[in-house]
Amino acid sequence: MSEKKQKLTEISELGEFGLIKHITKDIKINHKNTIKGVGDDAAVIDYGDVCSVVTTDLLVEGIHFNLIYTPLKHLGYKAVVVNLSDVYAMNAIPKQITVSIALSKKFAIEHVEQIYEGIKLACDKYNVDLVGGDTTSSLTGLAISITAIGEAKKENIAYRSTANKNDVVCVTGDLGAAYMGLQLLEREKEIFKTNPGINPSLEGYDYILQRQLKPEARKDVIEILKELNIKPTSMIDISDGLSSEIFHICDKSDVGCKIFQDKIPVDQNTEKMAEEFNIDPLTAALNGGEDYELLFTIDIKDLEKIKDHAMIHPIGHVTGKEHGAVMITNGGQSVALQAQGWNQMKKE
């Protein structure tokens, strides 16, 4: 009699972050200079006078980008920026990157040149050196993997796990624009597929399109915090939506959080696009993702230094873990936040 076949667990049951926890739960650190391994925006390695921070991201065609509406030069630029954002989220400065790329036969040399134009443009803007990588073939399309290496003094590094009760919760810039830019591009893609002769209607939407296709990392905010002599008590970049990132900080720091709806910054261009799609702008801000803004906490004594700064917005405070992560609505209701950010591994 044959043995009963073991039931396999679908990855979608765990999701991306559940999968990461599952496959890394038994990993042991063998070297004393590995200060931080899996579980933050970047790993941290102590080399004496300074620490290195190392992070990597993989972008896959059809999952993370669609070449119907993503210019290759923009894609190269964005691939770098999303990695640099993780370095800045550690309160560190990126110094080098490596680039690995997999290409199918549909790509010509000229296409690769366009990708690298964007990569080099990002390196120039953020003063980062391209120091190596790898190339290989692909059967299905394009994949880009970039590793970013940065540095910071050990005492200046900010983690997800060090928020304290009564800290002030802050975000930079505005939220939800990248998500609404994606909705616009997807809408125009569907129209084009039905009517190839119709030109896309993108006029007047430059801001949200740029936020989706050519985002920027918040190097400027790291410099501002240094000038103000503020070290964040915790920090993370907003790649999966504000709600998801708040949960990461609460989980790693073993705290709760209370934010206020009327304090969450949303640009008027985002609001306009959301109205066209009949989407609540708050939903885009909380769950949209790909904003690459910074979410961080600061000691309450530093609030006076940033409370009137145009690019930094206090949106709430850290509470005890027993209170959970909640948002106070404009109507005064306390609503539990839901981590509904993008999950590329969910079951269709």
Query: What was the pLDDT predicted at 119?
Result: 98
pTM: 0.90
Query: What was the pLDDT predicted at 201?
Result: 78
Q: Are 145 and 57 in contact (CB under 8 A)?
A: yes
**DSSP code of residue 292:** -
In this model, does residue 144 exceed pLDDT 70? yes
Tokens 């206090």: give the residue.
314
In this model, does residue 2 exceed pLDDT 60? no
What is the architecture of the domain spanning 168-336? Alpha-Beta Complex (3.90)
Q: Are 241 and 316 in contact (CB under 8 A)?
A: no
* Reported confidence tier of residue 195, pLDDT bands at 50, 70, 90: confident
Give residue-wise pLDDT tens across range 255-305: 999 999 999 999 999 999 999 999 999 999 999 999 999 999 999 999 999
In this model, does residue 135 exceed pLDDT 60? yes
d(CA 11, CA 346): 8
Query: What was the pLDDT predicted at 28?
Result: 73
Nearest C-alpha neighbor of 128 from the set 176, 84, 154, 95: 95
In this model, does residue 206 exceed pLDDT 50? yes
Give residue-wise pLDDT tens across range 113-133: 999 999 999 999 999 999 999
Give residue-wise pLDDT tens across range 58-105: 999 999 999 999 999 999 999 999 999 999 999 999 999 999 999 999
d(CA 118, CA 214): 10
Query: What was the pLDDT predicted at 66?
Result: 96
Domain 11-156 and domain 168-336 have a common topology: no
Does an H or E element contain 136, and which? strand 129-137
Q: What is the pLDDT averaged over residues 235-243? A: 96
How many of the other CB atoms lie within 10 Å of CB of 271? 18
CATH class of the domain comprising 11-156:
alpha beta
Largest CA distance in the chain: 74
Query: What was the pLDDT predicted at 4?
Result: 61
The share of the chain scoring above pLDDT 70, in percent, equals 89
Q: Where are the domains of the chain?
A: 11-156, 168-336
| Beta bridge partner(s), residue 238 | 293
* Reported confidence tier of residue 345, pLDDT bands at 50, 70, 90: very low
Does an H or E element contain 152, and which? strand 143-152
Q: Are 136 and 91 in contact (CB under 8 A)?
A: no
Q: Are 243 and 289 in contact (CB under 8 A)?
A: no
Alpha helix segments (H runs only) across 231-345 = 242-253, 268-277, 281-287, 303-306
